[in-house]
Amino acid sequence: MTTLPDNERPDHEHTYMRWDGWGDPTRAHGLPGGVKLLLAAVLGRTPKAPPARRLAEVTISSPPLAADDLAALAEAVGAEQVDAGHDVRLLHAGGKSTPDLLRRRQAEQAAPGAVVLPASEDEVVAVLAVAVERGLAVVPFGGGTAVTGGLEPDAGPHRGVVSLDLRRLSGLVAFDELAHEATFLAGTTAPVAEMFLAERGFELGHFPQSFEFATLGGFAAMRSSGQNSAGHGRFDAMVTGLRVVTPTGTLDLGRAPGSAAGPDLVRWFLGSEGTFGVITQVRLRVHPTPEARLFDAWTFGSFAAGAEALRNVAQLGTGPTVIRLSDEDETAVSLAQVGNIGKALATGCSAVVLHEGPAGLAAARREATGRVLREAGGEPADAKLAASWDHGRFKAPYLRDALLAHGVFCETLETATTWSNLHALKTAVTAALASGFAEEHAKNRVLCHISHVYPTGASLYFTVIAGLGTEPLEPWGRVKSRVNDAIMAAGGTISHHHGVGSDHAPWLEQEIGSAGIRMIRAVQAELDPAGIMNPGALVQRTTAQW
């Protein structure tokens, strides 16, 4: 492992995502005409949403941190890296779920009391020490792309909330060409990491929808899954080591591949969602930039037939990098691609497949997968569909913004289960959505795809559009709660993609049991006895903990 001189770091442009929507404000767009027509057909007239609120128009429900708190934090990171300004506080007020965005339209909003931007692990240690000493909660903030309430400025029993923005903790720390390992500071965004790796002929290949803005530390804290996870594994599987600062000590974990030296503590931090400490470095398995990238599209007569085909591929291990299958409704809106929504309605179910690697190996993998898909009744379709999916795959959140502006509620949700339970789970979620929206008198359309496959099962990803009126937050809360109950009753997991946050926390005990909750709380109490780390996320803490 070569440690690079003084870390290779990118310039830190302190740019922020659009505060009440997704991504780069200059890439925001209106609704394509085809989509408008489709929406009119499906949902009827929808009420125009109230105009977006400007930052300056919002009242923050709590004051900024007191001057002595700010002075103590300034001691830790330097005065210019502590910001308790109105706008910056609001820019760290939450993540990017649809409810998050809807709350951005309210006159009064919650926000952290200050934002601090450490530039080193030592500064993170110092910030946590200040927070413990002064009774402040700390919410680690990476790319700000969370969608399950993991960035709520929840003080718990403390006096205030510090948003610990990790953007200055960015860069490549070490690169091991022989071991195919790269160590990054945790605040490095995925595109910046790919830039550093590309210069060396390597790539990480982790492409969740949040790719353009999310950080490596965030991926680790949330157990992120990416669109190429069929080939490279979930982010979990890429992490070979972590450094973590906790209020009671720093850990350097992941000594060797395949260790049997007790439980794998790296896995204890993956999914801890900032409640155990702050991940400061992530060591990752990387791979050479593939020589070949072979996209294919396939069509199946039914979702059931397509799912069987994907199951066979996953269980045989023929090695696709991407393999995903849209259901009939999603296929009908042309793989849910921005540019194609509303265009020629396809029949059956479409699948997108990608094989990568050295040219010969990629071709062999493609052929092996193709044989399985064909035997399962698949037919090759126009490969342009796959290339078009690839081209548009990070654009969906911009479309959501346009839909919300048009008065159309739009959200995604996801779960996973075994192959044998997959259709029952899909039916249960679809039924819960249908009955939930019926209760709210909301016309709707539900699209679904299999986004990730494993030898033993797969994930289901649902996209929902609905006419929930001008005040959709509470109605959606009721629908979502009903869906979560249905997922648990049908044996699914409360999250495959997005984590627990505060939104799914009430269902976690059903998933892991009361003893499981106690295990997580025991580690929180050991590493963070004051309970300052992200109090709103993962488990509903008891007052006894504080």
Q: Phi and psi at residue 215, in whole multiples of 5°? A: -110, 160
Secondary structure letter of residue 245 according to DSSP: E
Give the three-state DSSP class for 282: strand
Cβ proximity to its own copies: between 56 and 256 the closer is 256
Least CB distance from residue 222 to its own copies, whole Å? 6
Least CB distance from residue 66 to its own copies, whole Å? 31
Cβ proximity to its own copies: between 5 and 262 the closer is 262
Cβ proximity to its own copies: between 171 and 231 the closer is 231
Least CB distance from residue 60 to its own copies, whole Å? 30
Which residues lie across from 465 on neighbouring strands? Answer: 410, 445
Q: Which two tokens stand for residue 144?
A: 């700000």
* 66-71: long-range contacts, CB 8 A cutoff, minimum separation 24: 66/160, 69/113, 69/114, 69/130, 69/134, 69/136, 69/159, 69/160, 70/114
Neighbour order of strands in the sheet with 2-8: 2-8, 172-176, 181-185, 278-285, 239-246, 249-253
In which element (H, E) is residue 183 found? Answer: strand 181-185
Cβ proximity to its own copies: between 49 and 525 the closer is 525
Cβ proximity to its own copies: between 116 and 538 the closer is 538
Least CB distance from residue 108 to its own copies, whole Å? 31
Using an 8 Å Cβ cutoff, are 289 and 202 in contact?
Answer: yes
Cβ proximity to its own copies: between 7 and 250 the closer is 250
* Angle CA 245–249–255, to nearest 5: 75
Going by their DSSP bridges, the two strands 59-60 and 239-246 should be labelled as unpaired
Tracing tokens 């654009």 back to the chain, one arrives at 395
In which element (H, E) is residue 39 found? Answer: helix 33-43
Burial class (CB in 10 A: 0-12, 13-18, 19+), 223: buried
Cβ proximity to its own copies: between 1 and 387 the closer is 1
Cβ proximity to its own copies: between 117 and 538 the closer is 538
Least CB distance from residue 370 to its own copies, whole Å? 13
Q: Which two tokens stand for residue 504?
A: 């799914």
Cβ proximity to its own copies: between 297 and 322 the closer is 322
Alpha helices in 381-472 (DSSP H): 384-392, 396-405, 422-439
Alpha helices in 56-120 (DSSP H): 67-77, 86-91, 98-103
Q: Phi and psi at residue 338, in whole multiples of 5°? A: -50, -60
Cβ proximity to its own copies: between 432 and 460 the closer is 460
Neighbour order of strands in the sheet with 136-141: 82-83, 114-116, 160-165, 136-141
Using an 8 Å Cβ cutoff, are 389 and 335 in contact?
Answer: yes
Cβ proximity to its own copies: between 92 and 504 the closer is 504
Cβ proximity to its own copies: between 124 and 520 the closer is 520
Least CB distance from residue 55 to its own copies, whole Å? 32
**CA 231 vs CA 196, 317, 327: distances in Å:** 21, 10, 22
Secondary structure letter of residue 189 according to DSSP: B
**CA 143 vs CA 113, 146, 498: distances in Å:** 19, 8, 14
Rounded CA-CA distance 390/371 in Å is 23
Least CB distance from residue 397 to its own copies, whole Å? 19
Least CB distance from residue 148 to its own copies, whole Å? 9
Least CB distance from residue 212 to its own copies, whole Å? 20
The two counts, helices (H) then strands (E), for the chain are 18, 21
Using an 8 Å Cβ cutoff, are 69 and 127 in contact?
Answer: no
Least CB distance from residue 362 to its own copies, whole Å? 11
Tracing tokens 């509903």 back to the chain, one arrives at 540
Cβ proximity to its own copies: between 52 and 253 the closer is 253
Least CB distance from residue 532 to its own copies, whole Å? 16
Cβ proximity to its own copies: between 79 and 522 the closer is 522
| Residue 26 CB neighbours (<10 A) | 6
Q: Which two tokens stand for residue 147?
A: 């969608």
